[in-house]
Structure formats: C-alpha cells, structure tokens
Amino acid sequence: MSSTAGRRRPGDDITICGAILGPTGPTVDVHVADGRVAEIIPGAHAGTSGRRVDASGKMVLPGLWDAHVHMVQWATARRRIDLAAARSATHAADMLANALRARQTPPHAGEVVVGYGYRDALWPDAPHAWLLERAAPGIAVALQSADLHTAWLSPAALRLLGRPEHPTGILREQECFDAMAAFVGVEPDLLDQWVLEAAAAAAARGVTGILDFEYADTVADWSRRAARGRLPLHVTCSIARELLPQALDLRLRTGRPVPGAEGDLEVGPVKLFTDGSLNTRTALCDEPYPPSHPGALAAADAGSGHAAMGYAELVDTMEQAAKGGIEAAVHAIGDTANGIALDAFEHVAGSGRIEHAQLLR
C-alpha cells in the first residue's frame, strides 16, 4: 500500500478497489479514511463513498518498516561513489579513478571525495593510502566500508585530518566514525534536505516508518526536520550512549512521542555497543580470525575482535536506562559479544533488542 495509508491526513476518503490482499488474496476493497485503514471489504468494487482507485490485479500490503537505518549515512551515500562491486583493493582504487574521470568537473580545493560500500575482509590484497594516491594524485579521498566501521583514507585526506604520518590510511571503529564525521560535514540545512529527500524516496517504495540509529542526537535532528513540515514517514529516534544522561533529564521514554512533533516522532532505545563488525574484523568472537591478507590479524587487535563494552559496564548502563524507562538496543555481532549481551539482558530483566546477532553458537 501507499505510505500515506498509515498516516493521518484529515479529509482523505479513498477506496482502493479490487486489490489482492497479501501474496495469495483474496480480492478486496480497502477503505482509507483520514489516513488510516478504516475497513477491508470482501469482494471487489463494493459501494463506498469518496474517491475510488482501481487496483485490479495489484497486491496491497501493510506499510513497511526499516527497523535499523542510519538515515544520514544513507542520505549522503546516495551522493557517493559506490564501491560495493570491488573485488580487491586494487579494483576499488581503479573504480575510484574511473568515477573521477567521469565527473564533469574535478574536485575543488579542499573537497573530500567520499566513497562507500566496499567489503575488504576477503580481498586478496590490503587497502593502503598509496593505492588511493596512485588512483587520485593529491586528492583527499575517504572511502567507508559497507559496515561503516572502517575508513580508508588517501594521504591528502590524512593531512586534512592532521595525521599525515599514519602508516596505512586505515582507521577502524571510533577513529573511523570521527574521521567520517569530519569529512562528510554538510551544512545542517542542506543535510536536512538530503535526509528528507531520502525519506521521501523510501516512502515512495512503501516504507512507512524507520528506526534511526544515526550517530547523532536523532531526537533533536528529527525535531528540527519535522518543524519544516509533515514528515513523509514515521521516525523512531534512537538515543546515543553519550546522550543517555540528557535523555533521562528530559524524561524521554522509549515508545513515547517526542514532545512537540505531532505524532511523527517517537523515542526509541539507547544504542550500546559490545563489539565492532565482521568485515572490519572487530566483531568479538570466541575464535581468532584467519588471515586474508598481510596485516589482517594485527589490524584486528590480536585476532579475536574488539570489546567495545564489557559485561559490567553494559549491565550498569542498561540498568540506568531501564530505571528511566529507556530500553536498550545492544549492538552484538560476534558470538562472544552476543553472549555478553544475552547475559546482560538476563541480569537486567528488562525489554530491549540485540542489533545484528550475526554470529551465534
């Protein structure tokens, strides 16, 4: 169904006629009043008031929800060089060079060329700053992996970051997050425009709501966007760990509306990390990672991953949040990390969720 079907739009009175309900039917008419499904009427073309839309042969489904999105990341990724098809570090550098040659104008002074989407865990060669220098001499380049946990920087980008002596140009975890935040800085008004355009694109494909885990003050950011006008979809705003005290002071509660947002925004969980990611080899695992290219194990902190938050700290933070009515969303990818997260949920005995849970025993 259209993303407007689940949103209140006073005065709407529409009947979607002759639609197939779900993958196997039956054929029904769907009456939408004030932006909500008011009635599902068996049989096609039943008599109802208001505007009628012929949907014969088309399927009608509930609105879709994206339960884990980084909206600023996606909005900016739509304007970046896509490296998802790269089969090696050399191939990724060649794709970068080709994309720059295809541009109508070269990068201007001070511009950082941003790419995304590569997966280097199984590449036969290692990414390195000199490969980017060869592909784009003198140009500041910042490439972010598909899992968002690794940044691959050119020498010019490292100089902008104040780290010209970095040996490889590969930054992981918090260093990556900080670098990409510095490089993709966009004026707030323009960034809000990009995010709203991305939200509208998602809504046009049937997405009616998202849970935004962006690394930012999502409550404040989405409140500012909502002040521009009606949002194209419903947004649940996660709370960054460092903003938990502020959220508790403001008496924000998971599942409650964000004050002043007219129902478009809802308070979500606090996001907590126990480890990193598999591609970056920082997911915390019981067994060490096998080498894929020279230096891979050394780059992954002794080979078994990275503990972003230990059990005691995780429990303490979850208990603090739970006392204030805020649930936890715990990022856990490796099997060790998932064990820590499950043990913490058992101890706290509160509701919440594990994000990803990719490697389980």
Chain segment 39-83, per-residue pLDDT in tens: 998 875 555 567 889 999 899 988 899 999 999 989 988 889 999
Q: Are residues 177 and 204 in the same domain?
A: no
Q: Are residues 156 and 193 in the same domain?
A: no
Taking all residues of the chain, what is their mean pLDDT, rounded to a whole number? 89
What is the C-alpha separation between 179 and 45, in angstroms, rounded?
Answer: 57
Note the pLDDT of residue 187.
81
Q: Are residues 7 and 52 in the same domain?
A: yes
Note the pLDDT of residue 190.
84
Q: Determine the average pLDDT of the residues in 201-225.
A: 95
Q: How far is CA 103 from the centre of its chain?
A: 27
Q: Determine the average pLDDT of the residues in 155-170.
A: 96
- pLDDT band at residue 35 under the 50/70/90 scheme: confident
Q: Are residues 146 and 192 in the same domain?
A: no
Q: Are residues 200 and 267 in the same domain?
A: yes
Q: Determine the average pLDDT of the residues in 317-328.
A: 97
Note the pLDDT of residue 157.
96
What is the C-alpha separation between 60 and 32, in angstroms, rounded?
Answer: 13
Where a domain ends, among 151, 183, 215? 183
What domain count does the chain have?
Answer: 3
Residue appearing with tokens 């960054």 = 240
- pLDDT band at residue 110 under the 50/70/90 scheme: confident
- The residues near 36 (Cβ < 8 Å, ≥ 6 apart) are 5, 6, 8
Q: Is residue 13 situated within a structural domain?
A: yes
pLDDT(121) > 60: yes
Give the 3-state DSSP-derived string for 248-274, with helices as H, strands as E and coil as C: HHCCCCCCCECCCCCCCEEEEEEEEEC
Tell me, what CATH number does 136's domain have? 3.10.310.70
Q: Is residue 289 situated within a structural domain?
A: no
SS3 222: helix
Q: Determine the average pLDDT of the residues in 3-25.
A: 71
Where a domain ends, among 249, 273, 297? 273
pLDDT(3) > 70: no
Q: Are residues 120 and 165 in the same domain?
A: yes
pLDDT(4) > 90: no
Q: Is residue 138 situated within a structural domain?
A: yes
Tell whether omega for the bond before 62 is within 30 degrees of 0, i.e. cis. Answer: no
Q: Is residue 342 situated within a structural domain?
A: no
Note the pLDDT of residue 302.
46
Q: Are residues 194 and 173 in the same domain?
A: no
More confident residue, 261 or 241: 241
Note the pLDDT of residue 46.
54
Note the pLDDT of residue 45.
57
Q: Are residues 77 and 179 in the same domain?
A: yes
Q: Is residue 209 situated within a structural domain?
A: yes
Given a contact cutoff of 8 angstroms between Cβ atoms, the answer to whether 87 and 121 are in contact is: no
pLDDT(9) > 50: no
Q: Is residue 360 situated within a structural domain?
A: no
Give the 3-state secondary structure percentages of the chain, helix then strand then coil, rounded to 5: 30, 25, 45
- CA distances in angstroms from 336 to 165, 307, 310, 313, 339, listed in the order given: 34, 9, 11, 16, 5
DSSP conformation letters of 90-144: HHHHHHHHHHHHHSSSPPPTT-EEEEEEE--TT-SS---HHHHHHHSTT-EEEEE
Q: Is residue 251 situated within a structural domain?
A: yes
Where a domain ends, among 122, 148, 183? 183
Given a contact cutoff of 8 angstroms between Cβ atoms, the answer to whether 149 and 277 are in contact is: yes
Chain segment 298-307, per-residue pLDDT in tens: 444 448 999 9
- Percent of the chain residues topping a pLDDT of 70: 92
- Percent of the chain residues topping a pLDDT of 90: 70
Q: Are residues 76 and 179 in the same domain?
A: yes
pLDDT(127) > 60: yes
Q: Are residues 7 and 48 in the same domain?
A: yes
Q: Determine the average pLDDT of the residues in 227-245.
A: 95
Q: Determine the average pLDDT of the residues in 16-32.
A: 90
Residue 19 belongs to what domain range? 3-62
Q: Are residues 101 and 135 in the same domain?
A: yes
Sheet with strand 265-273: strands edge to edge: 64-69, 207-212, 234-240, 265-273, 328-332, 352-356
What is the C-alpha separation between 55 and 75, in angstroms, rounded?
Answer: 31
Tell me, what CATH number does 34's domain have? 2.30.40.10
Tokens matching residue 66 = 């994206």
Q: Determine the average pLDDT of the residues in 314-336.
A: 98
What is the C-alpha separation between 10 and 12, in angstroms, rounded?
Answer: 6
Q: At 199, which amino acid appears?
A: A
Q: Are residues 199 and 168 in the same domain?
A: no
Note the pLDDT of residue 248.
98
Chain segment 278-293, per-residue pLDDT in tens: 888 899 999 998 876 5
Q: Is residue 245 situated within a structural domain?
A: yes
